[in-house]
């Protein structure tokens, strides 16, 4: 599993470099992306390209040694990311759907390598969450570039009406919460130990302990919505996660809660 994580991280790094090379002209005009190594000129285009090709070959070779199915997923990932970088990112709706598809591939990769049955609700949760983050990113970009020529930074911003992005953001936030809630309820791995079940009333004799994490997820989603609409900080999800203490704390508490429930309270 750890090797798969490294392989996908290397593959993602290769595609990010390719994307930075393709977006270099627009990134040089962007208020924050202009400081990226390729856009700022700290790394030459040739160096970035050679590094990307090297990383892609390492990821592909590693995937072959781990699993033929992982190799297939990595190839599909490369193809979809290249399509996104040079074509699909310029088409509204498809640009965010391809992001969700890339995250889904990561989930499939982990499941295939450890030979674990993959919950359909986990797949749906991953898709909805990635769509939520992607749409929130577009919404924040549109807000931050208001009054400027948004097409200089991202072409599709010309065609995304603010009301559409608002509606899609709330829709995906709701869908993320619903699919995650169903995952915690339906997943067989979340059944509480019979020993602890003896202390509950008969109506709760077989509770799903992972459902206790739903309020944490709910808070995290609400907090992220606040950051998108009030602070306009959804433009870079990773920076928001690391810089916003309440959001970071909620994710940390969720992670520790899941570990505790799965390893100490599950069958």
Per-residue pLDDT, averaged over 126-141, amounts to 89
Q: Is the pTM of this model over 0.85?
A: no
Per-residue pLDDT, averaged over 57-85, amounts to 92
Strands (E), 64-178: none
Q: What is the pLDDT of residue 148?
A: 56
Could you give the angle at which helices 162-186 and 214-226 cross, rounded to 10 degrees? 170
| C-alpha dihedral, 100 to 214 to 240 to 107, nearest 10° | -30
Q: What is the pLDDT of residue 146?
A: 66
* H or E, element range at 15: helix 2-22
Q: Does the structure show a pLDDT above 70 at 89?
A: yes
Q: Does the structure show a pLDDT above 70 at 231?
A: yes
Per-residue pLDDT, averaged over 123-151, amounts to 81
- Integer CA distances (angstroms), 146 to 23, 28, 97, 228, 236, in order: 20, 18, 24, 15, 17
* H or E, element range at 128: helix 120-144
Give dist(CA 154, CA 22) in Å, integer: 12
Domain boundaries, the chain: 1-118, 119-267
Give the pLDDT band (50/70/90) at residue 181: very high
Lowest mean per-residue pLDDT among 15-29, 114-128, 174-188, 239-253: 114-128
Q: Which residue has the higher pLDDT, 33 or 198?
A: 33
Q: Does the structure show a pLDDT above 80 at 250?
A: yes
Give dist(CA 10, CA 65) in Å, integer: 15
pLDDT digits (tens, 9 = 90+) for 235-249: 678 888 888 899 999
Give dist(CA 62, CA 57) in Å, integer: 8
| Residue keyed to tokens 């399509």 | 83
- The two tokens of residue 172 are 């995906």
CA angle 69, 73, 74 (to 5 degrees): 115
Q: What is the pLDDT of residue 116?
A: 67
pLDDT digits (tens, 9 = 90+) for 160-180: 888 999 999 999 999 999 999
- The two tokens of residue 85 are 């970088």
3-class SS at 266?
strand
State which fold the 1-118 domain adopts. Tetracycline Repressor; domain 2 (1.10.357)
- The two tokens of residue 165 are 């992005």
Q: Please answer whether residues 223 and 244 qualify as being in contact, where contact means their C-beta atoms are separated by less than 8 angstroms.
A: yes
Give the pLDDT band (50/70/90) at residue 266: low
Q: What is the pLDDT of residue 129?
A: 93
Q: What is the pLDDT of residue 46?
A: 93
Q: What is the pLDDT of residue 115?
A: 65
| Mean pLDDT of all residues belonging to the chain | 83
Give dist(CA 180, CA 96) in Å, integer: 20
Give the pLDDT band (50/70/90) at residue 67: confident
Q: Does the structure show a pLDDT above 60 at 40?
A: yes
Give dist(CA 95, CA 138) in Å, integer: 10
3-class SS at 159?
coil
3-class SS at 216?
helix
Q: Which residue has the higher pLDDT, 262 or 96?
A: 96
Give dist(CA 75, CA 62) in Å, integer: 12
Around Cβ 42, how many Cβ atoms within 10 Å?
A: 10
Give dist(CA 176, CA 167) in Å, integer: 14
């Amino acid at each position: 599993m750890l090797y798969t994580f490294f392989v996908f991280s290397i593959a993602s790094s290769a595609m990010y470099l390719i994307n930075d090379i393709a977006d270099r002209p627009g990134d040089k005009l962007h208020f924050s992306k202009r400081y990226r190594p390729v856009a700022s000129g700290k790394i030459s285009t040739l160096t970035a390209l050679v590094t990307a090709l090297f990383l892609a070959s390492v990821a592909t070779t590693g995937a072959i040694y781990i699993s033929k199915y992982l190799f297939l997923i990595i190839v599909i990932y490369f193809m979809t990311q290249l399509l996104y970088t040079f074509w699909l990112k310029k088409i509204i709706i498809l640009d965010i759907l391809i992001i969700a598809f890339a995250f889904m591939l990561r989930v499939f990769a982990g499941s295939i390598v450890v030979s674990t049955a993959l919950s359909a609700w986990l797949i749906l949760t991953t898709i909805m969450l990635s769509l939520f983050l992607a749409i929130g990113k577009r919404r924040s970009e549109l807000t931050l570039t208001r009054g400027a020529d948004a097409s200089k930074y991202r072409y599709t911003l010309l065609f995304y009406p603010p009301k559409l992005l608002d509606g899609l953001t709330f829709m995906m936030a709701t869908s993320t919460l619903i699919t995650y809630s169903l995952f915690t309820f339906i997943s067989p791995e979340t059944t509480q130990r019979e020993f602890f079940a003896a202390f509950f009333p008969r109506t709760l004799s077989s509770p799903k302990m992972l459902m206790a994490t739903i309020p944490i997820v709910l808070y995290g989603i609400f907090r992220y919505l606040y950051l998108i609409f009030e602070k306009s900080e959804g433009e870079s999800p990773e920076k928001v996660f690391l810089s916003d203490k309440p959001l970071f704390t909620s994710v940390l508490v969720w992670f520790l809660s899941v570990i505790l429930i799965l390893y100490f309270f599950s069958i």
